[in-house]
Structure 1
């Protein structure tokens, strides 16, 4: 399992949403409060953020735990952004992919993360993967279920799907092959956030003045404004608003 978070709104230092809160992503790496599967998220971490005037995000990823990276502590203190996506990783299976397996994954303006697991990987998703062009399979950044899910989403985006349907379609495809899969996906383009709640917790909070919205695996503080998205839900967030819609179950 993993913990992840996305923010869109007025520019803030990365640490304001990642490390400063009492139960922020930094603390969730060793003491998550709502995590149902796994206990410690120490198998890598990453953050992607957008700079003013540049639609392509920057990324900082490492294969070790976030708490041991003092360079990231400095970066989070001084770098400011109006949109970011970050994750701490608990590997489902042992592997040698290292930093490449740490979210966020990226292409063009997109940042992506997966919180969950696909039991039986990789055999369980072999038929789903066979529907992708071979060049896209060869371009997988890591040999993980999360990387394949990102390939499924990206393929739909490049085919012209809107972000919400692209996420929901990838979830239905994976869940149709592996009904017990946990598929909380997170996608950002620097202006909006899209997320799915499928098998694990998803929370959100919008500032009352419309200054920003956070979407996260779990609340990073005890503010009463946090709301939990129901399971089987697609969430779309802007700095001022959050919209929820149900995701249809995959066909038998």
Structure 2
């Protein structure tokens, strides 16, 4: 499958987590320890926020992340207080730039690890549920982009967790109508540049791995000489497919069927309960 991470906190160079950590995201693209696939070489993407009032920047490429010299140069130069990065292992859809994460709409970025099972069998029905004003922005052919646009259709910008619950409810109901067992497996991240919403959920209750950082204030007390922890700040937050470094007390595993919302230094976990929308999408 895929590996991804999302960071918020003091501005840091992207290379800190993409390249320099013990088990950096680039290392995971070659040697994932917890993924269903060891190698994730079907493209990558990074989205980051700079000017507060403008949409996030994005760099995506179909090449393997480990071999892209421009990514290494960019990661060395770019500092951001909030960014999302993703390395892809393709399933039912081709390796092409428009299928690389993160996906973007307005201020929002979205990344996904997992799959809609038997996606070709449900693709048409799901795409027809996307709001008409969002349909023209479809660029690629992947299930992840459709999940993002469905979440936007059901109100991601107003109530992110509820919109993701409704998106999952629609995907599961559509799959069940086609006789598909366990239609969805996912960890996802969605952010508007201020808050990060991450979810771990699967129809079968055996979701892909997902972790988030423990309190950086607590970590700074435990590891006062670690410059990376100090630079990130006490309110920093990382949510990611698998840990970047082996530090006791640094990570908490996100439970099954759980949403995590991080905003302004506060981190909240809540049950994730998929359900169908009360009314059809517009």
TM over 0.5: yes
Instruction: Tell me the alpha carbon deviations over residues 184-242 of structure 1, each in whole angstroms, 9 at most, x when there is no partner.
Output: 11111111100110121111004126331001111111122200111111110125222
1:143 to 141, 144, 161: 141
Once residues 52 and 217 of structure 1 are traced to their aligned partners in structure 2, the CA distance between those partners, rounded to angstroms, is 27
How big is the shift at 1:52? 3.9
Question: In the alignment, is residue 203 of structure 1 matched against residue 211 of structure 2?
Answer: yes
Distance 1:93 1:25, change over 3 A: same
Question: In the alignment, is residue 161 of structure 1 matched against residue 186 of structure 2?
Answer: no
Instruction: Tell me the alpha carbon deviations over residues 155-206 of structure 1, each in whole angstroms, 9 at most, x when there is no partner.
Output: 2237x63122222221222233333411211111111100110121111004
What are the ranges of 5 or more consecutive residues in structure 2 without an aligned counterpart? 176-181, 202-206, 218-232, 277-282
Q: Secondary structure at the match of 1:5?
A: strand
Once residues 55 and 165 of structure 1 are traced to their aligned partners in structure 2, the CA distance between those partners, rounded to angstroms, is 25
Does 122-131 or 11-20 show the bigger shift? Answer: 122-131
Query: How many pairs were matched up?
Result: 248
Aligned 8 A contact 1:3 1:115 in 2: yes
How big is the shift at 1:249? 4.6
Aligned 8 A contact 2:6 2:239 in 1: yes
Once residues 190 and 93 of structure 2 are traced to their aligned partners in structure 1, the CA distance between those partners, rounded to angstroms, is 25
Give runs of aligned pairs for residues 35-184 of structure 1, distance below 5 A.
Answer: 35=35, 37-95=36-94, 98-134=96-132, 136-157=134-155, 161-178=158-175, 179-184=182-187
Larger Rg: 2
Distance 1:231 1:125, change over 3 A: farther
Question: In the alignment, is residue 218 of structure 1 matched against residue 227 of structure 2?
Answer: no
Partner of 1:7: 7
Q: Secondary structure at the match of 2:152?
A: helix
Superposition CA RMSD, Å: 1.9
Instruction: Tell me the alpha carbon deviations over residues 32-70 of structure 1, each in whole angstroms, 9 at most, x when there is no partner.
Output: 1111x2221100000000114443100010001011111
Aligned 8 A contact 1:200 1:231 in 2: no
Partner of 1:234: 259
Instruction: Tell me the alpha carbon deviations over residues 90-137 of structure 1, each in whole angstroms, 9 at most, x when there is no partner.
Output: 0002526x1111001001111101110111112134433322245533
Aligned 8 A contact 1:171 1:183 in 2: no
Partner of 2:226: none
Does 143-152 or 201-210 show the bigger shift? Answer: 201-210
Aligned 8 A contact 1:196 1:232 in 2: yes
